[in-house]
Structure formats: C-alpha cells, structure tokens
Structure 1
Amino acid sequence: MSVRWRRTVSVRTRVLVIVLIPSIALLAIGIGGSAYLVQSGREANRFAELARGTSGPSIMMIEAFQEERRLSLLFLAGDDSAGFALPAARKQSDAGYAAVVAQANALSELRPDLKDGFFRVGVGQKVPALRAAIDARAIPAADAFTAYSMAVAAIVNGWLISADVAPDSHIAVELYKSVHALRAAESISQTSGLGSLVMLTGELSPELLVELTGYIGDGRGEVAYVGSVLQGAHLDQWKAITSSTEWQRLRAMEDAIIQRGPVAAAGDSGRSSGESAERLPLTLAEWQQVAGKVRRDLLTLWETQSVDAHFEATEQGNRLERDSLSAGAGVLALALLAFLGALVLANKFIARLRRLRRDTLELADERLPDTIHRLSAGEEFDQDANRLDFGSDEIGHVADAFNRAHRAAVDAAVAEAKTRAGVNAVFVKIAHRSQGVVHRQLALLDKAEREEPDSDRLKLLFQLDHLATRARRNSENLIVLGGEQPGRKWRNPVPLVDVVRGAAAESLDYTRIHVRKLPETQIVGPAVTDIIHLLAELADNASAFSPPESPVEVTGGLVGKGIAIEISDQGLGMTEEEMAARNAMLAQPPDFSVATLAGDIRLGLFVVAKLAARHGITVRLTESDYGGVKAVVLIPRALTTAALDTGAADSVRENRIPAQPEYT
C-alpha cells in the first residue's frame, strides 16, 4: 500500500496531509454532532412536507365516501333518485381513494407499515363488490352502512399511525387531538345517514334507535372533548361551530328523534309506546343540509389543527438545522483556519510545479513537433529559444533535465532530417541517371522501330519499347519520392483520351486494360505527366491484383467538380480495414522515409498519393461491381479545358509513348 501511495499521491497532497490529520479530527467531532442535529431537522421537515399533503386528500375521501354511503342507504331504502346520483358520487370516491393511496405511499417512506394501517380493511378490494351488491339491492342497508363506515375509519386509523412518527411528543399530541374533530364529523355523518333511512322508510326499530343514539352520543362527546383541549384561534373556531344556528338545529333534530322513540313500520298491528304523531323539527332535506354544514365545519377545524401541527414541525426542523449549522460552522471555521494556513504555503510550492508541468507539456506537445516540422522543411532555428528556466533549486534542476531531453530529441530530429535528405538525394541522383539511360534507350528503340520492315521483329521491338517505358516510370517514382518532378513536360493541353491511353500503355499488362468512352476534354499541359503517371500506377495495381485473364476497365465522365475516372478490376478486393487504411494514406500521404516504406505500404499507391496531393486530385478506393477494387480519380476543373483544339493540343505519342493498340 505504501508503494502505491508513493506512486499515485501528488506532492501537494503529501504536504497538506500533515496539517489535514489534526484538522480532520477536530472537524469530524463538530460535523458528527452537527450532522445528527441537521438530520433530525430534516426528518422533521420531511415529516411535515409529507404529512401536510395528506389533509386535503383525506377530507376529499371522507366526504366522498360519506356522501356515497348516504346515497347508497337511500337507494337501498327504495329512493330511485338516489340511484341516479350514485355514479357521480362513486367517481368522486374513487378519486379521493386514489389521492389517499398516493399520499400513503409517500408517507410509508417514514414508516413502512403506515400504508398497511391506512388500508388494512382492504377498501380498494371490497368496494367494487359492495357497489355491485348495492346496485342489485342484494345487501341489507345495515351491512352497506358498516362497510362504508369501515372505509372512513381507515382514514382515522391511518392518521393516528402517522402521528406516531411525529418528530417530537408535542406535535404528536396535537395531531392526536385533531383526530377527535375528525371522529365528531364522522359521527354526525353516520347519524344523518341512518336518520335519512329512518325518515324515508318511516320505521325506527328499538335496535336502530339504540345504534342511532350511540352515534349521537359519540359525536357530542367528541365535540365536547375538542372544546376542552383547544386554545386560541382553534377554540374560537370551535365556539363558532357550536354556537351556530346549524348546530342548534342539528341538536334539536337529534333530540327529537331520541325523544320520539321507536316507530313501527307502516301496516304493523299496534303502535309502539314511544311512537307519537308529533312532527319532527326538520325535514329530511333540512336535516341533511344542517348536518352537512356542521360536518364540513368540523372537518375544516381538523384540517386547520393538522396544518398548524405540520407548520410547527417545519419550524422545529428549520430551528434544528439553523442551530446545528451554526455550531458546525464554528468548528469548520476553526479547522479551515488551520488548513488554509497550510494551503497557502503549499500552493506557493505547488504553483511552480504546475507551471513546470504546463511548460513541459507545451514543450513536448507544441514546440517539439513544430521544431521537427521546421527541420523537415529545411528551416534553421535557435535551440536555446525553447529552454525552460526555473531557477537553480530542486525544481530548476528538474527543468534542466527536461531541457537536456528536449535537446536530445531535437538533435535526433536534425540527424533524421539530414539522413532523409541524403537518402532523397541518393534516390534522385540514381533516378536521374537511370532516366537518362532509359531516354537514350527509348530513342534507339524508336529509331529501330521506324527502320524495321519485319513485323515479328517490330513486335519484339514494341515489347522492348514498353518495358523501357515502364523502367522510365520506375525512375520517375524515385524522383517523385525524392520531392522533385520528372523531366517530361507538355506546354499545351492534351486530350483526355490520349492521357488515359498513354497511362494504359505504360502498364505491364496493357493488353488487359480496356479504355471505354471518355469525355472530349483536355488536361492542361503541366499536369499531364503526373496524371499519366498516377493513372498508370493505378492500372498496374488493378492488373497485378486480379486474375491474368480478367480485363481492367477504365471509364470516365464529367461531374460537378471536374472529371471522374474509374479504374475497376475483378480481383479479390480488400478487407474494410485495409481499404480504410489505403484511403487514409491517399487522402493525407505521410512523409517518405525508410521507416514508412518498411511498413505495410504499396509503393505505387504512395506515389499516387504524392502526385494527387501535388495537383489537388482526389483518389479513393471502393469495392468494384465484380468484388474487386475500383479506384475513383477526381480531376478538378482547374486541370481541364473544355474546348478541344487539335491544332494547339499536344499528342501523348509525340512525347515518347510507345506504339500501342487502340482500345474500345
């Protein structure tokens, strides 16, 4: 581990570690305490954030299920008009249930069993079957009443469970207190729901009277308890509810129901002792109206209590975060003062190392390549101009070592440039000597061809003429690689067809090369030699890497950028990697050197790349229609002339191209 540490850790880190160890120890103590307090504050805020969003969905679900319960009881009692209102009420219940489910899923983040507490009764699973039974009027009203009451009770139970995860006991107590207003609202809703059933059927059995009386007592007891524990604005809100006209009318109606006693169903023999003919103080519609108003007011009171408890939780969380951050900031400031002192001292040392690194990279990535490029171009320069100067201390000694390495690299580049120049000069001299011999040989062959009457010997002379022409192109290859131009030149434009045929004639297997119809245009004189050379090399490659009996097709045509000449063979072709490498070399030929030629490179293509770059010609290899290779040569318009002036045009044959057959 220590060896790896020494190799990977920077000098700056080593200097800072000396001060960091005691600073980190102090910082850890402060941060540990602060983190605990911050976490407590964040948990309080998270609780408030999640619980705050449950009030609205809870009220929405409670009111929706209470309304659906009331309509269902009326429908089961024979009120068909209630059945028409049930679909809308059920839709509202489903929306409220979905909203509560979403909030329960969020609250389960604080306590995993919270979601089960909300829906342990299986509301989502039982409601569809319950509704189907109600629609078929196949369920007693009492069973339907109980089922809907259990759904509302699930909300109350879930709310009690959510209070268990409150950040402190005071907030939990406030949340527990608020539940009594929720229970009171549910008791009033249950009373009015059963009362609606009683008034619609005209029957109040002793058992139902006992149950109804129990709900009335529960509601009044919950309301009384709420008034005993509230303070401030919440108490004023409670007083406004209990002193309202609706509350008084509701109590009067409930008292009248209890005092009237049981009522037998119409048609029963006899009358109960508790039955009287006196009218109730409210009609069914009026009872539902005042009960709904009081119920909504109690739900609003519950929501207000809940929101205030959540707000208090938020304030407590914010207060804990502020206090913990203040304490942590003090400890952090003390640790930072010690660390910054070391950092300032370390940075002064590190800044010089960084500048050394930056200057060294610039020397290696920019100055050295530029120097080598200038050396390759034959320029002279001052080697001391790129010297690094960092004084005489240890960092300065490192800079001097880089200076020596840079000078050694430059010296090697100078030697390589001189070697390359010498090799090029040797190539050029050898090529010029060979070229001179070949020119004299071609002149003698030309004279012998004109004077030879025998056709067989003339054919042999043509073959010798062709081989001599190929030898001349080999000499010209060396001249091109040496950076010079061949001696052959044309002053006037030459017809494209003559240029292409002249290139075909220089190929070893010229009899296999078929030149198709070409556009009637001309190539400017200065470019003729190099284009003939370029096309001849491509034709040689095509014939060399294809079956001996297969033809090599040469076609051409005018395109938007000039003239496109295609040379296609029927050989085995190349792999995608090989073709990509060849096209990359043709697009940007590398510098010629012995190392270049020693690699996997074809000399002919290297010469083609050099000649194409000299005149702005584009050469690209693709797969031919026969599976071989097709070379596409794009000659730019600047190298062509549109009009064909036979009087001013030179002839390729007149400039020492051997006799050759015509191609179609």
Structure 2
Amino acid sequence: MRFRNASVRAKVTALIVSLACLWAFAAWVTLREGVNLLWAATVNSGVIDPSEPLLVELQRERRLTVSRLGAGTRDLDRAMRDQRTKTDALRAEFESAATGTVVEFAMDESLRQRLAEVKVQLGRLAAARKSIDAGKSDLTQAATQYNTLIDSFYRMYDSVAEFDDKKIAEDGRTLSEMHRSREIFAREDALLAGVFAKGGFTRAEHAEFVRTAGVFRYTLSEALQKLPPEDRASFDAWLKTAPVTRVQAMEAQLIRYDVAMDPLPVSGEEWRKSAEATLSSMQTVTLAGGDRLLERITPVAIGVIVRLVLAGGLGLLAVIASIVLSITTTRQLLAQLKKLRDAAHELSDDRLPGVVERIGRGEEVDLAREAPALDFGDDEIGQVGQAFNTVQRTAVGVAAEQAELRRSIRDILLSLARRTQGLVHRQLTVLDVMERRETDPEELKELFRLDHLAIRMRRNAENLIVLSGSAPARTWRRSVPMVDVVRGALAEVEDYTRVTLMPMGEVVLIGRAVGDVIHLLAELIENAVSFSPPYTNVQVSGQLVANGYVIEIEDRGLGMKSEDLDAANERIADPPEFRITGTARLGLYVVSQLAKRHEIQVVLKASPYGGTTVVVLLPQELVQLDPTPEPQEGGGRERLPRRQPAVATAARPATAENVRTLRSARPAPAAPPPASAAAPLPRPALAPEPEAENETETHKPPAEPEQEPVAEFTPSGLPLRVPQANLAPALRDETPTQPDLEEDDDERSPEEIRAMMGSLQSGTRLGRTQAAKMMDEQSGGEA
C-alpha cells in the first residue's frame, strides 16, 4: 500500500534499481564461471603443478627408505641422500608457490585447510627421517609415515574447485582417480622393494601385498570405465605396453606365491625395472589426459568469456540506456505533471477567487479568457490535460454562477433588510406619536415594550445589512459620550435589566463609528446575557489605555472551552466569507465585520468568575477625551436616541421600578446633578441623521435645561422619584402627593403611579416643544 501511494519518481527509481539488480545477478552468474576458471588456473599453477613433482619424489623416497630398512642397512647411501635432497628442494618450491597472495585469495576455505594439513605433514618429515635413521621405525612404520604424508596431498587435490561444466568436471575427477590408482601401485612397489631387500614375505606382508594389488586393479578398472573415448584409447594402449604386462604377470605370480616356499618366483631387479617403467608411463599417460582436458576446457573458457562480455558489457550498456531513457522520460512526465499541477493551483488559488471576487463586485467576466485551454500534447498526459481543460472551464463557470448567486442573495438580503429597516423606522415613528398622546400608565408601559421590541427588530435588520456587505444607515456627525454609546447598545438588548454599567470615564466616541460600535456592543452584550443564568448580572466597564479605549463585557455563565475560544477569536480576527450554510453563529460574523470596518480588536477570554470576558479595544483615532462633561446649549456633542433602557451606574443594577420609571420618561434636559446623587439619570440624546431614504425615524433635540431637584433615596439606596418634579410650573399640581421616604417604591398606589406618569408625559411634551423651537432658531440663524 505504501508503494502504491509513492511518487512517480520513487517508482521509477525502484524500477531502475530492480533492473540494475537483475543485471548484477545475471552478470554474476556468468562471471562466476569465469571466476572459477580463473581461480582454478591460479590454484593449478600455484598449488597443483608444484605439488606433483614433490609427490613423485616422495614416492621414490618412500621406496628407497623401505628398501633400505628391508635390507637392514642404517647407513645412508649416496642414492638416499640425493633423493632426500631432491625432495627438500621441491618441497621448498612448493611451499613458496603455495604461499603467494594471489593463491591465498583464489583458494576456498576447504582447500586452505587441506593445504595447511599438507604443510603440517611436510613439517613432520624431518622427524620421521631421524626416527628411521636412528632405527626407531621399522619397515611398516616408515611406510605408514610416508603414506600419511602422501594421502594429505590427495585430500588437497580433492578440495580443488570444480568447473561448472559437468562433463569436464567428471573427466577431471576420473583423471584424479587414475592418479590415485598410480599412488596405490606405488605403495605396492614400495612394499615389494622391502620384501625383495630382505629376501622374502612375512604372512602379514604378503596379505598386505595381495590387498594392495587388488585395490590397484579395482581402482584402475573403475577409472578406465569413466574415461572419455580419447583418453580411454591412450590408457588402453598403455595397458598393452611390455612393462605393464610384465608387472601384471609378476603380480599374479606373487599373489599365488606361498610364503613357506623358497625362493621368490620373481627377482627384485626385474620387478624394479618393470615397476619404474609402469609408474613413469602411467604418470605420462595421466598428464597427457590432463593436457587433453585443458584443451577441452579452452572452448568452455572462451564461452564463459563471451557470455561474460554479453551479459556484462552489453547488459551493462542496456541497463545504462534503460536508466537514461527512464530518467529522461520521468523528467518529461514530471514536467508535464508539474505544469498540470501548477495550472490546477493557479485555478484554485488565483483564478477562481479572482473571478468570484470580480463577479461579486458586479464586473463582467470573460470565461474563455479566464480559463484558457492548456496544451499538453496528444499522449496520455495530453488527454489528462484535455480533461482538465474541461474541468477547468466547468469549475470557472460554476464558480461564476455561484458568485452571481451569492451576490444575488446578498442583494436580496440587503433589499429585504432595507425594507424591514424602513418599516421599523415607520413603526418607531408611529409608536412615538402614540406614546406622546397616551396618558394611561399601563398602556404607556406596553407601548414602551413595543418600542423596545421595535429597536431590537431594527438591529436584526441591520444584521442583514452587515451580512450583505453594506453599512447600516445610522450615522452621527459629532462625537457622543462613551456612556451614552453603551446605553444605546443596552437599549437594543432584551434583558437589559441584568446589565450593570460601571463608570465609563469622560470619553467621547467620534460620530462616524457610533452606529457600528453600538451595534457591535449590543451583539456582544446580548450574547453575554443569553448564555448566562437569569439570576446573574453582566458587567460592562470601560477605561482609557495606552492603545485606545477598552470596554470589557463580563458574564457569570458556564464559559467556553479553550478550543471554542480560540475558534471564536480566529473567526473574529479573520472573518470568513459569508455563506448561506454554516450560519449557526451569525452574531460573531456581524461582530467581525463591524470590528474589521473600524480596526477594532475584539478578544474573548475566560473569566476568573467562570464565565467569559469580551475585551473590545477601540483604537485611539476613534476616541477623544471629553472636555465638556455636561452638554451646554449649542454644544458640539450629539446624544443617542431616547430609546434606551435606564441602566444603573456605579455598579448598581437596574431594578424593575427604576427601569419602568426611567424607560417611560421621555428624555428631558436637566441640569447636572448635585454631588450627593449616587445614580444620575440617563442623559437625553439626539437622534442620528439617516443616510438612506428609507430610514425615517426622527427625534427632537433636548429643551433648555431646568433645575432638577435633589434626589432622595430609599432605604435600599435606590433614587426616589418625586412626582411632578420635572414638570413646568404651570403644569404642576399645587398639592402633589409626596411619598414617604421610608415607603418602598413597590407599595405605591395606582393613583400615585398614574399621577407620576402623567406629570412625566406633560413635562416631556413641553421639553420637546422647546427643543424644537431651539432647533428651528438655530437652523434659521445658520441659514
């Protein structure tokens, strides 16, 4: 499975390696015959050839030694000394030739062991001679010592490597058997030399002679049967020579001889002459057979050389040609595949995204130019290239259709969102009119609830606008205090009563970012409220830092896993392309788009309280220090819309009564609260100027500020609302009902609440009327 998945280069390399290994095996099979031939020639010239003359001289020395011991003479005669001298000289030549480096390398382990055995036996020859000369060895012991030495030579011959040609190897073994048969006859001759020297057989010696003669005849007959025809003729002729026939006749007489009879039927001189002639002629015929064997080996050697040249030389050329062809073919194949791969990458990485982006921008795209055909030839790779051209054109066409479809969907979303936004603004306008003329507190409370739901619907419509890639139409021309920005975000959250607003500092947000920051904070606060238990609060705080302004939103929920936090942060930092599928977390996508628009950093992290903390870093170019903490007449700051919940500052959460009172009141201008006020009322605000025609919501500017009475507090620390406190003097009831300071807000009677709401409604209307007059005067002056 791994090789199947390997690269083309690896597969071709494996093919080349296997081809080289196949050539090496074939070359070695052929080369081995040549190597055997070379090693055999080396061993023959370095070991066999020098050993044969030494073996003959050892056989002669054995005969002279046995003959001297049979005669009972201990003194060394001249013939014995000359023979030993010849033997020692040939021994030195043999040991010198057999210890060469080339010969050592040519011998196998078996031949090396047999050669070492021969050298050991030759080393014992001097001791055997001394023992014989000192009379410590008799005839039989002396013959045994020489026989042991000579047997080591024949064992060495048996270890010589054979040829791979079976016929030649068989002929070589046959000649070796003939040579061994000659050694048996030489032993027979040495035994008879001793017998003739002492003048007769012992029974043991006669039995040994009969056994040796029988072995000689048997081995000779077996060897003659195995000889090839050309060698058999020469050996048949040798058998018919006079010395051989005389030896056979004398052997027959000596075999039939009775040891008790006297004298011997054959003379020693007659036997010696015939035996020497037989041994000499047998050696000559055997060597001639060896020469003929070498002549038959020559064609075999030539054939080995020819096969070696063919398998080694031509095979090597074929392997080299195959390797060159494989490499060039592989390079061409890989080059075409690389071209095809690069084309595929260019299509997937550059062309398709570019086509999709241009179509998304509404540009016309020429598919024939964007997906040009690739020419790879007419071979198999070319056919794959043609198929890829078809796939490429289809892919570009489908990508264009998909991009057009996504653009159409975004346009549909934008159209629906704009329509919904216009309807919501009209709904808010209708609600505003109804709130102004409603005096019933219960009905007014329900209208305020509808007002709050409409604001949330407006945010959802703006979400669709953001998803479609456009910007909402709500904008501000001037800076807005940061606390009003956060309050504006809370106005778009359903569970705003669970939000605790900490002091935000005297900081203002520039107008061009107010709408998007409100939207971004509303999404994050909504998420924090939704994913935390209903009995917990969400805390919002802000402060200036070195890189800008930081707003932290912390909930007390179950929190998120580390991998989910990482995924959410990555999604916000690098927002993906919006698709219809995979929209489980649209809020994060909206936040990421809004943050990317103003280079705002949004990071989610684990809260030490067990929930999640969202850190929103506004860059320095979006925030400014507020030089005028409270707005003055004709000031340069704008205020947020009136539709916002009443949230508690200074870490005090909003209660139901607190929220209902502040939520139902229309934003009337007020003087700065005294230092003793722990929780100031929400500031009135100006509405943004709509940039789109379908955004119809309008708001009235604040009226002239009036003096606000000092706030009183309940035992729980909440501000105590005073009925008719903000009404114009002409509308105030001369006998207002002032609740007891120790009475809880929840225990007010319906009449008190109705009177309070009516007073607030009247004051709000008066304040809006005065504010409208101020705006008209300012407009007239500017004109």
Gaps of 5+ in 2: 33-102, 105-310, 360-364, 651-783
Aligned residues: 367
1:442 maps to 428
SS at match of 2:544: strand
* More displaced stretch, 433-442 vs 333-342: 333-342
Match of 1:605 among 583, 588, 600: 588
1:474 maps to 460
Q: Does 1:374 align with 2:354?
A: yes
1:55 maps to none
Give the drift of 1:12. 6.5
- Are the counterparts in 1 of residues 417 and 464 from structure 2 also a CA contact under 8 Å? yes
Q: Does 1:392 align with 2:378?
A: yes
**Counterpart code for 2:545:** V
For residues 5 and 517 of structure 1, the distance between their equivalents in structure 2, rounded to whole angstroms, comes to: 66
**Counterpart code for 1:438:** V
**Counterpart code for 1:604:** G
- Are the counterparts in 1 of residues 496 and 647 from structure 2 also a CA contact under 8 Å? no
**Counterpart code for 2:21:** I
- Are the counterparts in 2 of residues 16 and 343 from structure 1 also a CA contact under 8 Å? no
2:614 maps to 631
Q: Does 1:622 align with 2:608?
A: no
1:581 maps to 567
- Are the counterparts in 2 of residues 16 and 342 from structure 1 also a CA contact under 8 Å? no
1:429 maps to 415
1:360 maps to 340
For residues 480 and 415 of structure 1, the distance between their equivalents in structure 2, rounded to whole angstroms, comes to: 23
For residues 8 and 492 of structure 1, the distance between their equivalents in structure 2, rounded to whole angstroms, comes to: 66
Change (3 A) 1:456 1:364: same
- Are the counterparts in 2 of residues 24 and 335 from structure 1 also a CA contact under 8 Å? no
Residue deviations 1:578-611 (CA, integer Å, cap 9, x gap): 22221121111111111231xxx32212211111
Residue deviations 1:398-417 (CA, integer Å, cap 9, x gap): 11111112222222211211
- Decide which structure has the larger Cα Rg and report it: 2
2:636 maps to 648
**Counterpart code for 2:451:** D
**Counterpart code for 2:501:** V
2:473 maps to 487
SS at match of 2:604: strand
Give the drift of 1:453. 3.1
* More displaced stretch, 548-557 vs 446-455: 446-455
Gaps of 5+ in 1: 35-167, 170-330
Give the drift of 1:465. 1.0
Change (3 A) 1:335 1:529: farther
SS at match of 1:344: helix
Change (3 A) 1:29 1:472: same
- Are the counterparts in 1 of residues 367 and 393 from structure 2 also a CA contact under 8 Å? no
**Counterpart code for 2:595:** A
SS at match of 1:372: helix
- Are the counterparts in 2 of residues 587 and 609 from structure 1 also a CA contact under 8 Å? yes
For residues 393 and 630 of structure 1, the distance between their equivalents in structure 2, rounded to whole angstroms, comes to: 63
Change (3 A) 1:13 1:639: closer
Change (3 A) 1:490 1:359: same
Give the drift of 1:449. 2.5
1:24 maps to 21
Give the drift of 1:26. 4.1
Change (3 A) 1:19 1:370: closer
Normalised by the length of structure 1, the TM-score is: 0.51
1:102 maps to none
For residues 350 and 626 of structure 2, the distance between their equivalents in structure 1, rounded to whole angstroms, comes to: 46
Q: What is the 5 A alignment of 1:189-338?
A: 337-338=317-318
1:350 maps to 330
For residues 565 and 359 of structure 1, the distance between their equivalents in structure 2, rounded to whole angstroms, comes to: 53
Give the drift of 1:450. 3.0
Give the drift of 1:533. 0.3
1:131 maps to none
**Counterpart code for 1:637:** Q
**Counterpart code for 1:374:** G
Change (3 A) 1:569 1:581: same
Structure with bigger helix share is: 1
Residue deviations 1:111-154 (CA, integer Å, cap 9, x gap): xxxxxxxxxxxxxxxxxxxxxxxxxxxxxxxxxxxxxxxxxxxx
Give the drift of 1:657. 3.2
Identical counterparts, % of pairs: 42
For residues 366 and 606 of structure 2, the distance between their equivalents in structure 1, rounded to whole angstroms, comes to: 47
Change (3 A) 1:499 1:410: same
* More displaced stretch, 636-645 vs 15-24: 15-24
Change (3 A) 1:652 1:335: farther
For residues 578 and 564 of structure 1, the distance between their equivalents in structure 2, rounded to whole angstroms, comes to: 23
Give the drift of 1:369. 2.6
SS at match of 1:630: strand
2:484 maps to 498
Change (3 A) 1:9 1:478: closer
2:535 maps to 549
For residues 585 and 12 of structure 1, the distance between their equivalents in structure 2, rounded to whole angstroms, comes to: 41
Q: Does 1:340 align with 2:320?
A: yes
Question: C-alpha root-mean-square deviation of aligned residues, in Å?
Answer: 3.4
Change (3 A) 1:403 1:535: same
2:261 maps to none
For residues 458 and 5 of structure 1, the distance between their equivalents in structure 2, rounded to whole angstroms, comes to: 77
Give the drift of 1:352. 2.9
1:175 maps to none
2:549 maps to 563
SS at match of 2:474: coil
For residues 572 and 7 of structure 2, the distance between their equivalents in structure 1, rounded to whole angstroms, comes to: 45
Residue deviations 1:396-435 (CA, integer Å, cap 9, x gap): 1111111112222222211211111111111111111111
Change (3 A) 1:349 1:494: same
1:404 maps to 390
1:416 maps to 402
For residues 457 and 10 of structure 1, the distance between their equivalents in structure 2, rounded to whole angstroms, comes to: 78
**Counterpart code for 1:624:** S
- Are the counterparts in 2 of residues 26 and 335 from structure 1 also a CA contact under 8 Å? yes
Normalised by the length of structure 2, the TM-score is: 0.43
Residue deviations 1:632-653 (CA, integer Å, cap 9, x gap): 1111112122344542111112
